[in-house]
Amino acid sequence: MRDLVIIGGGPAGMSAAIAARESGIQDILILERDGQLGGILQQCIHNGFGLHMFGEELTGPEYAWKYEKKVNELGIEYKLNTMVLDITEDKVITATNSNDGVFQIKAKAIILAMGCRERSKGALNIAGTRPAGIYSAGTAQKYVNTFGYLPGKNVVILGSGDIGLIMARRMTLEGSKVHAVCEIMSYSGGLARNIEQCLNDFNIPLRLEHTVVEIHGKDRLEGVTIAKVDQNRKPILDTREYIPCDTLLLSVGLIPENELSKNANIKLSNITNGAVVDQDRQTSVGGIFACGNVLHVHDLVDFVSKEAEIAGKAAAEYIKSGKKQSFVIPIKTDGKIRYTVPQIITEAKDVTVYFRVSDVYKNAKIIITDGDKAILSKSKAKLAPGEMEKIMLKTEQIKNVKELHFSLEV
Amino acid sequence: MIERKLTCIVCPLGCELAVTLEENRVLEVRGNTCKRGEAYAQNECTNPKRTVTSTVMCEDGGLVSVKTDEPIPKEKIFECMEIINATTARLPIKIGDVIIKNACGSNIVATQNRSK
Ligand SMILES: Cc1cc2nc3c(=O)[nH]c(=O)nc-3n(C[C@H](O)[C@H](O)[C@H](O)COP(=O)(O)OP(=O)(O)OC[C@H]3O[C@@H](n4cnc5c(N)ncnc54)[C@H](O)[C@@H]3O)c2cc1C
Ligand code: SF4
């Protein structure tokens, strides 16, 4: 029996482990599938990490190293090259590696920190052939930054999420020509700074309201046909345009990796695709916590680390006192606010609620109510789906509340 | 006097800046949430600079990630990349080690550890 087992050694897993140790838990084990700690950060060699946590701009590997060093200093145990295969509701973990074979561990508490994977299937709903040369942007990032292999010379990118923007610059620096970044929406899902420094700096065109409608080429990709879309996101045929290219990168979003959570009967949200959690990041299964991209997709690693601290501390409390949830205040949203994390509150204490909106809204007012009773409102000049927002609720505001309703007045 | 619109790239907030210029002199910056935005607009309109991140080949054929220690002039980015790609690094490497001295006005330092 172990006190705490953490699945995944990315920024979420490491930060949760450190917080749990600092809250007095000695017996901690991190299980990591990869050959090193750090998760996705090891391939994110660009800078832009850590401004909130460290007040300086770090690259992904540098940010990871700050935590890895701390994990080592605190003597937190971890197993690399170890893949978790299954977890159960009563917290039995099945894992495998080449030294120990397949083994089982029972834990008092578990923290899920498995990160996310890239969406790819849905995006390939495009006419034409399936030649070589089509990659998800994250896979291309791994090829270029980890293996030093450049996927192609002439590139089109579908989707303008941050990974796509970062890869547009990265491949340009390595000598490829990026002909276009196509985005089906009327705005980019990526950060404004990445449009500026990854596209505008290199005169790479961002084609808003455009999508790829056909793929050409037999064995190797030879080109794509792109087209403008109408309000219903249907391609307008006479705007079709052929672009010769040997590489198509798909950057169409990330999705939390929750196969393991399903095995443990953890209740998942069909909006975030992550677990439904309370303010401590505890899932519907007592003693199992979740944080980082496995819970909901974060664009800033700093928020991942902060969230993981909450989970790490709460898991330590759970191990020490076996704390149970005493009441449940659900947080409902109006659709304009797409989701919140946490989705429920089970203790009257100060809680920061993170949320995302479903469209771009200007001069909007966030309104929080309990039935007819106003709890809090806050005006915002601009809200966008790509940027996670947060709002702090004070203990007094939560006390005696039955339900919290988050809505947006535009 | 001319007006220039910029997006501040100093932090993820990405404020939209409006700069009033006269003969390449910045008279006024609006739209910035903090002081760093003003400094960014100043530099961007007079001497734009960027941090470059990339990888350097190691002697064993693997890669180590690197960055320019200081931002370099924007027009030197590709020159800097040529220097980076012409270099092979000796192992072992510790984070912060200088891999190339003075490339386009900045040292190139390792952002990853690599053992032999
Ligand atoms: C391409 C890209 C660019 C980004 N750019 C920025 C940026 O500029 N600035 C910024 O602040 N943030 C950025 N982010 C976001 C930030 O990197 C992530 O939010 C953060 O890394 C998520 O941390 P995590 O620990 O939740 O997940 P991950 O880093 O994905 O770590 C999850 C870990 O769990 C392991 N794992 C998964 N399943 C198992 C299993 N079954 N058994 C054992 N181990 C398992 C994985 O191997 C991995 O190491 C970027 C993300 C991506 C993908
Ligand atoms: S002005 Fe300040 S807050 Fe706004 S993007 Fe620049 S650094 Fe960030």
**Mean pLDDT confidence for A159-188:** 96
Question: Do the domain assignments include residue B115?
Answer: no
- Tell me if B86 is assigned to some domain: yes
Interface predicted TM-score (ipTM)? 0.94
Residue among A302, A267, A304 at smallest CA distance from A282: A267
Residues B94 and B71 reside in one and the same domain: yes
User: Is residue B40 domain-shared with residue B63, that is, in the same domain?
Assistant: no
To test the ligand 2 pocket, which listed residue (B5, B7, B8) has its Cβ within 8 A of the most ligand atoms?
B8
* CA-based max dimension of chain B: 58
Ligand 2 atom 3, closest CA: B33
For A320-361, the pLDDT digits (tens) are 987 676 789 999 999 999 999 999 999 989 999 999 999 989
How many whole angstroms separate alpha carbon B4 and alpha carbon B13? 19
Q: Please report which confidence band the pLDDT of residue A124 belongs to, taking 50, 70 and 90 as the band edges.
A: low
In order of their start, the domains of chain A are 1-117+253-325 (3.50.50.60), 120-252 (3.50.50.60), 326-410 (2.60.40)
B43 with B57, same domain: the answer is: no
Q: Where are the beta strands (DSSP E) in A124-240?
A: 127-128, 134-136, 154-158, 177-183, 206-208, 210-216, 223-228
Distance A202 CA to ligand 2 centre (A): 22
Question: What is the domain extent for residue B31?
Answer: 2-47
pLDDT for B2 equals: 87
Mark whether B40 and B72 lie in a shared domain.
Answer: no
pLDDT band at A121 (very low <50, low <70, confident <90, very high): low
Q: Give the distance from residue B99's alpha carbon to the nearest chain A alpha carbon, in angstroms.
A: 16
If asked whether residues B34 and B15 sit together in one domain, one would say yes
Alpha-carbon Rg for chain B, nearest whole angstrom, is 18
| Chain B residues in contact with A48 (beta carbon < 8 A) | 12
Looking at the structure, tell me whether residues B81 and B106 fall in a common domain.
Answer: yes
pLDDT (0 to 100) of residue A399? 87
Q: Which of B13, B33, B50 is nearest to A191 (CA)?
A: B13
- A151 preceded by a cis bond (ω within 30 of 0): no
Ligand 2 pocket, residues with Cβ under 6 angstroms: B 8, 10-11, 13-15, 32-34, 36-37, 40
For residue B71, is it within any domain? yes
Residue A174: its chain B contacts at CB < 8 A?
54, 81, 85
Share of chain B above pLDDT 70, in %: 100
Q: What is the pLDDT of residue A382?
A: 85
Domain count, chain B: 2
Q: Place A123 in a pLDDT band, splitting at 50, 70 and 90.
A: low
Instruction: Indicate the residue type of A388.
Output: M
Cα of A10 vs centre of ligand 1, distance in Å, is: 6
Using the Cβ of B25 and the Cβ atoms of chain A, whether some distance falls under 8 Å is answered with no
Number of the ligand 2 atom closest to the C-alpha atom of B10: 7
What 3-state DSSP class applies to B67?
A: strand
pLDDT at residue A128 tops 90: no
At A336 the pLDDT is 96
User: Same structural domain for residues B41 and B73?
Assistant: no
Q: Where are the beta strands (DSSP E) in A269-371?
A: 288-290, 329-333, 337-341, 344-345, 351-357, 361-370
Q: Tokens in use for A181?
A: 């970044």
Q: Which residues of B touch A176 (CB under 8 A)?
A: none
Contact A130, A224 (CB under 8 A): no
Residue A119: what pLDDT? 80
